[in-house]
């Protein structure tokens, strides 16, 4: 699933080209998770004023209203002056005077949704419970510690929930917990302020490095130019079950937490 680094890489690749573009029409394919929410005619002639990100959502601010774009489990956006005819997994084509923005999503968990504003009930439903952005000053280690003290679930599951800090998906939670030397099953409320400070720094470090690497391409993700990320090539634990830890040599272990695979080093991450 595209996480914060992949969505931000997508935004960075599209922002300059989309800002100021005028929408000519929108062509819809098979239904996605949520409907567009307005007739296509409502979008014709509108100018894209800026492209922002909130968590894993891309926000296209228009003259009137905004479009919220989610890449789902397997989606990616492509923008070009000319694209081939839509295939069976191409579900939204946003035609502008600068080119076509296409959402390709084989599993159809993505979405493009119109809202009048961020205070619109639909926007609040999608964005209202998102936690702080981890790469901003709003992500404060002391506030992070206070919030974790209220949670009795396993720390990895708390991170994935996204309502304390947003965008720390499965791969990045596993990597951050490794660098902080915290076992994923440790109860969030048991972590000391010192260990939370280490985790806070590790989250920022891992996400920043993932951005520099263009994100992670595990199966479907591609950036706006069709290229792949390569952070997955340098992971310390994620996807490395049975392989030796790059620090101590102990075989990496894998367990299931919820419905997701969790990877950790039993020696480096003792508790």
Among all residues, which ones are annotated catalytic?
2-3, 56, 260
Residues in the chain: 271
User: pTM of whole model > 0.95?
Assistant: no
Domains of the chain: 4-127 (3.20.190.10), 141-264 (1.10.8.50)
Q: Which residues pair with 154 in a beta bridge?
A: 187
The confidence score (pLDDT) of residue 65 equals: 96
Q: List the structure tokens of 41.
A: 């005619």
pLDDT (tens, 9 = 90+) of the chain, 271 residues, equals: 678 888 898 898 899 999 999 999 999 998 888 999 999 999 999 999 999 999 999 999 999 999 999 998 888 899 998 888 899 999 999 999 999 999 999 888 899 999 999 999 999 999 999 999 999 999 999 999 999 999 999 999 999 999 999 989 899 999 999 999 999 999 999 999 999 999 999 999 999 998 888 766 445 544 455 554 556 678 899 999 999 999 999 999 999 998 889 999 999 998 8
CA atoms of 51 and 16, how far apart (whole Å): 9
**How many Cα neighbours within 13 Å face the side chain of 47?**
4
Give long-range contacts, CB 8 A cutoff, 24+ apart: 224-232. 224/10, 224/13, 224/14, 224/77, 224/78, 224/79, 225/13, 225/78, 226/78, 229/5, 229/6, 229/9, 231/5, 231/171, 232/171
């Amino acid at each position: 699933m595209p996480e914060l680094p992949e969505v931000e890489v997508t935004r960075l690749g599209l922002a300059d080209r989309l800002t100021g573009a005028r929408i000519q029409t929108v062509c819809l394919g098979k239904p996605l998770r949520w409907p567009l929410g307005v007739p296509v005619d409502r979008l014709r002639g509108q100018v894209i004023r800026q492209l922002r990100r909130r968590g894993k959502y891309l926000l296209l601010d228009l003259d009137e209203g905004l479009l919220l774009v989610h890449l789902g489990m397997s989606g990616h956006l492509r923008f070009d002056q000319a694209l081939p005819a839509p295939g069976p997994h191409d579900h939204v084509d946003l035609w502008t005077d600068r080119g076509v923005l296409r959402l390709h999503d084989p599993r159809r968990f993505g979405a493009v949704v119109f809202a009048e504003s961020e205070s619109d009930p639909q926007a609040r439903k999608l964005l209202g419970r998102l936690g702080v952005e981890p790469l901003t000053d709003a992500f404060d280690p002391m506030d992070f510690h206070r919030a974790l003290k209220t949670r009795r679930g396993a720390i990895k599951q708390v991170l994935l929930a996204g309502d304390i800090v947003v965008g720390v998906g499965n791969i990045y939670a596993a990597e951050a917990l490794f660098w902080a030397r915290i076992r994923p099953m440790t109860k969030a409320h048991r972590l000391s302020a010192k260990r939370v400070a280490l985790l806070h720094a590790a989250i920022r470090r891992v996400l920043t490095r993932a951005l520099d690497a263009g994100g992670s391409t595990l199966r479907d993700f591609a950036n706006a130019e069709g290229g792949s990320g390569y952070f997955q090539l340098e992971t310390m634990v994620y996807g490395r079950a049975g392989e030796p830890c790059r620090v101590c040599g102990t075989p990496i272990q894998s367990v299931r937490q919820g419905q997701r695979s969790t990877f950790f080093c039993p020696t480096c991450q003792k508790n």
